[in-house]
């Protein structure tokens, strides 16, 4: 008679320790990758500078030095925007997929991108705003309004949320087109913003949304345990004492803070919020405490890496980060759409 092998407490302890080492190793590697892409962002571009010049510009800048001006005035803000927007998109994507249990969920699913787009074109058309630092609040409020509408109608049901988000996007898109056809200035500004880019966003724009991103990240960290229980199903979560409605409300607020800020800062960057959580789950499993932490590192790696690649693929010119990020994330979307098993969603 065959008997199943017994798992001793020492075997279980070794398994737990091995899993913890793998998770820590994944985070360390991701942190190293983030450091590399930040350095690459400061060094590489249409005007290449050496790492020594970058270090000199950061530690002892010389007034009037062109390389130092490029690094401090353009590349440092660009790298910081990429890190903050990437972190916000990565964590927001993980929270969205966790709370909706939808493997293809990202900020665009809830209509945030379309809401922010409509707010920006209206701000340019009606108020004459032209700078990112001026219309960043409008983009954030537009994204928040769209998400609030989707969550209020969707009532926390994953399938219904996706359908309502698609409906809101379909309703808003013709409105955006109508405004763009009426105002040439709005069209010119929107054309640049909508493609998703890290250029033209100074530190003053980042300073506006950085506290909001920080608040969203703190809320996301506090939701990790709740998302783990929610992954077991609503009934099980309620049986474990969780208030499912409150969890979804807090998750909705977190998504608005993070995705709304990222969209306002860098434009509607596609597929970062979709691809990053999938990569994180493959590396650290389904525990959202680790998924969120790794997504916070991999999001900037993907977005800033896309920005660096965009500077190199066209000699003497640049390809916007949103275009490159979409090309990187598209295979993930195809794999999920073809029905490959995605754990923890």
SS (H, E, C) 106-124: CHHHHCHHHHHHHHHHHHH
Q: Say if 16 falls within a structural domain.
A: no
In tens, the pLDDT along 119-155 reads: 888 888 888 777 766 777 888 888 888 888 887 887 6
Q: Say if 21 falls within a structural domain.
A: no
Q: Say if 216 falls within a structural domain.
A: yes
Q: Say if 40 falls within a structural domain.
A: yes
State residue 155's pLDDT score.
63
Q: Say if 127 falls within a structural domain.
A: yes
Q: Say if 180 falls within a structural domain.
A: yes
State residue 1's pLDDT score.
44
CATH assignment at residue 98? 1.10.3470.10
Alpha-carbon gap, residue 304 to 328, rounded angstroms: 12
Instruction: Give the total number of structural domains in the chain.
Output: 1
Burial class for 39, CB neighbours closer than 10 Å (0-12, 13-18, 19+): middle
Q: Say if 17 falls within a structural domain.
A: no
Q: Over the chain, what is the mean pLDDT?
A: 83
Residue 324, domain extent: 27-337
CB 240 within 8 A of CB 226: no
Q: Say if 249 falls within a structural domain.
A: yes
Closest alpha carbon to 147 in 103, 190, 114, 122: 114
pLDDT surpassing 50 at residue 343: no
> Which residues 6+ apart lie within 8 Å of 138 measured at CB?
119, 120, 122, 123, 129
Q: How confident is the model at residue 218 (pLDDT cuts 50, 70, 90)?
A: very high
Q: How confident is the model at residue 5 (pLDDT cuts 50, 70, 90)?
A: low
In tens, the pLDDT along 10-53 reads: 767 777 777 888 889 999 999 999 999 999 999 887 777 888 88
Q: Which whole number is the average pLDDT over 313-317?
A: 76
| Greater pLDDT, 294 or 113 | 294
């Amino acid at each position: 008679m065959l008997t199943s092998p017994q798992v001793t407490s020492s075997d279980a302890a070794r398994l737990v320790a091995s899993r913890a080492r793998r998770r820590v190793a994944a985070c360390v590697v991701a942190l190293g990758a983030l450091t590399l892409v930040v350095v690459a962002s400061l060094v590489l571009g249409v005007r290449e500078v050496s790492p020594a010049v970058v270090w000199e510009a950061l530690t002892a800048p010389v007034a009037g030095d062109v390389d130092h001006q490029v690094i401090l005035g353009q590349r440092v803000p660009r790298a910081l925007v990429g890190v903050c927007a990437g972190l916000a998109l990565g964590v927001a994507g993980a929270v969205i997929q966790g709370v909706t249990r939808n493997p293809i969920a990202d900020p665009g699913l809830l209509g945030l991108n379309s809401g922010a787009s409509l707010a920006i074109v209206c701000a340019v058309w009606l108020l004459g705003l032209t700078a990112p630092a001026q219309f960043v609040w409008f983009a954030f409020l537009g994204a928040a309004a769209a998400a609030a509408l989707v969550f209020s109608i969707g009532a926390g049901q994953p399938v219904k949320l996706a359908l309502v988000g698609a409906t809101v996007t379909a309703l808003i898109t013709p409105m955006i087109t109508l405004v763009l056809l009426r105002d040439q200035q709005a069209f010119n500004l929107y054309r640049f913003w909508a493609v998703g880019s890290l250029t033209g966003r100074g530190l003053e724009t980042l300073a506006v949304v950085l506290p909001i991103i920080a608040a969203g990240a703190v809320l996301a960290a506090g939701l990790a345990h709740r998302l783990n229980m929610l992954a077991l199903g609503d009934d099980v979560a309620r049986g474990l004492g969780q208030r499912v409605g409150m969890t979804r409300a807090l998750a909705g607020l977190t998504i608005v803070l993070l995705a709304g800020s990222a969209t306002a800062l860098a434009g509607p960057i596609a597929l970062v919020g979709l691809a990053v959580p999938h990569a994180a789950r493959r590396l650290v499993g389904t525990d959202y405490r680790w998924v969120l932490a790794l997504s916070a590192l991999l999001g900037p790696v993907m977005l800033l890496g896309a920005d660096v690649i965009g500077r190199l693929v066209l000699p003497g010119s640049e390809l916007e980060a949103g275009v490159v990020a979409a090309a990187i994330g598209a295979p993930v979307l195809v794999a999920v759409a073809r029905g490959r098993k995605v754990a923890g969603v």
